[in-house]
Structure formats: structure tokens, C-alpha cells
Amino acid sequence: MALVMVSAMLVVGTLTFDHARSDDRLVYVWSPRMPLSVEGLPEAEAAAAALGVRFESVELDAAHAEAGPGRALPDELAGSELHVPSAALVTSVTDGDEVRTVLGFKTRHALVAALRAAVPTGKGAGEASRRGAPRMVRPETPRLDGAPAEGDDVAPAELRWVGDPEPGSPGFFYRLIPGTTQFVLDRRGTTWVHDTESGVRWAGPADLDLVPSPDAAFLVAPLDRGLAFYSWADLRRVGPAGGGPDLPPFHVDPEMDDQYPSVGLLGDVDEGRRVRVLVSWFAGVRIRDYVVSTAADGGLRAAPVGDVVQPCPAVRLSTPILSPDGTRVSGRDESTATTKVFDIGASGAECTEVADVGYGTSKATFSPSSRYLAYSRWGTSSGRRMAQVHVLDLEAGASTPVPGATSSRLLIPDFGREEEILILAVRDDTRFEIHCWRGACPGSG
């Protein structure tokens, strides 16, 4: 495959990876649709220098175009089928290449540590690259099953809604606003709100990752000065008239100055509602609790409860997300290269592994009840390589494919209601779709 190379280097005296050879390399996949992946380019190049290997950068769409429709990407680019950015350290061994892949934005030092600790795959990796069967950690639950065999075609789930993507190639991160017909998405440095019924779109107040709370009372987004909280009622009021970008936050927490937020609702307290927010990327996974209440003027206010906490500090998690009830975290465990779920409890300080999906997946997402986990995995459909959404029941221990919820590119699903899955599908065209994965859509037929 022809790779877009930013620079090549072999730095004598900085070797931290044993016996580096001239064809060893760090391959970094990025996309202009994912702003953090662009910011990560210099960090990945610096990590390659620290490892003493060549640096190669590959733009995601160019990689797929080079591979051809329905074809798998090479091992060193396979991580981009699960998340962008991805970084792969490719090293030559006696039997072939070993590939160590890490997902998500990381600083140079974190990336070096993660790549050295990652599980090797590829022809030269031998037994280390073989995965066991997916499993629930609780012994009384059965092993996961329900995945279709390679090449199987299954009748599609009911399709409730189809919409054109926002012009200008939307990013792969989007979120439905609970209990509404709107969802938020990123588009090249701007957040947008899209109404699935009216088709009306309007700009939001942040550059990326505008994430709603489970009760749709507020949204959070990362700013340079910290984590910002915005009132959904205020945004809905001023947004259609063009006032979304100028909406001021009702709270900013400078101690939560990181990216990739998610929100959980812990419950009602005397002062209001206690919520939990997770952020990650730069400084590992961090959470903090807040009480969100109504001020005297009718607006919202937020007050931190306690200090910032790092859940599961011994686990190297990438692409983490918090459950809507605030008590579980799902993410990719880089020590096993599999997606896992951890129970962090009401305190946020626990770390009990609940489930191991058993293979690498896209970034996962929880259903509104926190019972189900949705993610995509790659397989073959009608002779073409496709990503398909699967739903894991964390109580029953069974995974179910969502027929028709497929894409030929990176696929990150989101739940609407418990039975609804939203995807950005790339096939012969690109479109947003809502699939009802548990039978007929609500109110149909």
C-alpha cells in the first residue's frame, strides 16, 4: 500500500525499543473529520523518534481508497477500522512482522508506553495474538454468542429514519439527545444540532464533542479553559436563530481540562441532581461528580462534589465512556486489545471487571438503562467486508447483531431509546440511520 509519509527517521541514541531495524515503523492513521487526530500528528511523530523508528502518517479515506471497496486494510492500518486516530508499531521478527496497535489520541510519552505494553498481532506474533472466546466475568452467566457466521445474510432490523449527513463530511462522533428528535454532531471544528423530524440544523457553542446529559437538561464540551456546561433549554431557544455559537456556559471546571466527555446521572439529592462526568485522552481517565440545580433566576448552576478521581488507575483504557447511571465504564483495555466493562460503583473508586467482549471493537456506548452495550465489529456481508453493530446484554451475557446497521468505514453507534440505534452509514452513499434492533419501531404498524 502506498502510504502518505510525513517524515522518516532513525534516531541513534534514543532507541527505547530493543533491536530496532531500519524497516521498523510507527504508522499513524488520522482524518480531517476528527480534530484530535490532527492534533495528535506531532505527538505521534515525537513518539516515533523516541522509539527510534520511522514515522508514517496515513489519512483514513486514502487508506480505504487504496485498499479498494470491501477489502480489509493491512494489519498496520486495521486499528483505524475501530477508531481514529490509531497508531501501530510495526517491528520485524524472525517469522514476519509484529504489529502493536493503540487507539485514540495520546501524548508522546503515553503513546510510547502504550505501544510497548500493547499485545502484538500479525504473522510474527504467534500465540500472543490469539484471543479467547468472549466472556462475562461473572461465572454464573453464559458465554457470549449470537454473532452471525462469516457470509451470513440476515433480514435487516426495522429502519425508522434516514437523513442526509450535514454537508462537509461530518465526524464519526454524534449523540442523540435523550427524549428528543435531535442529535448533535461534529463537522470540521463546529458542533451542530440536527432535528430528525424537521430537518432543521443549527450550530452549537463548542468546537467538538458536545455531549448531552442522560436527562437532557444540559450538555458538556471541552474548552481550552476546562469542561464547559451548557443549558439545553437555552441552546434550544437561541440555536435556531443563530445564537448557538455565542451561548455562554453556566459552569466551567478548569480541573477537568481534557477531552472526550461522557455524562452519568447518579440520582436526585436535596440540592438538585447529582451527576458524574468522565473525561480522558491527555491525562488518563478522570471523573468528577457535580450537583446541578436551578438558580434563583431560573437558570442552571453546577457545583463540584469532591475532588477529581481516576477510576481503574491500574488499567490502561482507551476510548472510555461512562454509563448513563454513572456506575460503569467501558473502554478498550490496551493490555489485551479487547473492549471491557468495569463497575466503578457509586463512589467512582471501585474497579470490578464485569465483561470482556473478547475482541477489539469500535468505541462502545451504553443504552439509557445501562443494561446494553452497543459497538461495531468487522465481518463479511454479501462478500464484502463491513462493520456491523452488535448489542451486548450485560445481564444475560448474550450479544446480538443488528442486521442492516452496517458500514464500509469506521462505525460508532449510539442509542436513542432502549431499542433504537443511530449510525452514520458509509456504503454506496453516506447517511444517518436509526435502526430498531428489538423488533418493530415504537409506534409503527
Maximum average pLDDT range among 36-40, 159-163, 218-222, 380-384? 218-222
pLDDT at residue 283 in the model = 60
Q: Write out pLDDT tens, residues 53-82.
A: 999 999 988 888 888 877 778 888 888 888
Residue 46 is part of which domain span?
Answer: 25-130
| Rounded (5°) CA angle 249-255-256 | 65
Res. 131: pLDDT tops 60? no
Task: Check the CA dihedral 424-148-363-107 and report its sign.
Answer: negative
pLDDT at residue 52 in the model = 92
- Do 277 and 220 meet the contact criterion of CB atoms below 8 Å apart? yes
- Rounded to the nearest 10°, the torsion over CA 337, 8, 112, 76 is 0
Q: Say if residue 105 is in the same domain as residue 217.
A: no
Mean pLDDT across the stretch 322-328?
97
Q: Say if residue 238 is in the same domain as residue 342.
A: yes
Residue 12 lies in a domain: no
Count of the separate structural domains present in the chain: 2
Q: What is the CATH number of the domain that holds 69?
A: 3.40.30.10
CA–CA dist 407, 125 (Å, integer):
29
Mean pLDDT across the stretch 107-134?
63
Residue 138 lies in a domain: no
Residue 146 lies in a domain: no
Res. 425: pLDDT tops 80? yes
Of 53, 166, 115, 69, nearest to 408 by C-alpha is 69
Of 363, 357, 359, 356, nearest to 379 by C-alpha is 359
Mean pLDDT across the stretch 162-169?
74
Q: Say if residue 164 is in the same domain as residue 124.
A: no
Run of H or E including 115: helix 108-117
| Rounded (5°) CA angle 225-277-275 | 120
Q: What is the CATH number of the domain that holds 287?
A: 2.120.10.30
Residue where one domain finishes, among candidates 130, 148, 182: 130
Mean pLDDT across the stretch 139-153?
35
Q: Say if residue 268 is in the same domain as residue 401.
A: yes
Q: Say if residue 52 is in the same domain as residue 199.
A: no
pLDDT at residue 128 in the model = 36
Res. 6: pLDDT tops 50? no
Q: What is the mean pLDDT of the chain?
A: 82
What is the Cβ-side half-sphere exposure of residue 396, based on CA atoms within 13 angstroms? 10
Q: Write out pLDDT tens, residues 85-117.
A: 889 999 876 566 788 888 888 888 888 988 888
pLDDT at residue 12 in the model = 27
Res. 360: pLDDT tops 90? no
The pTM (predicted TM-score) of the whole model is 0.83
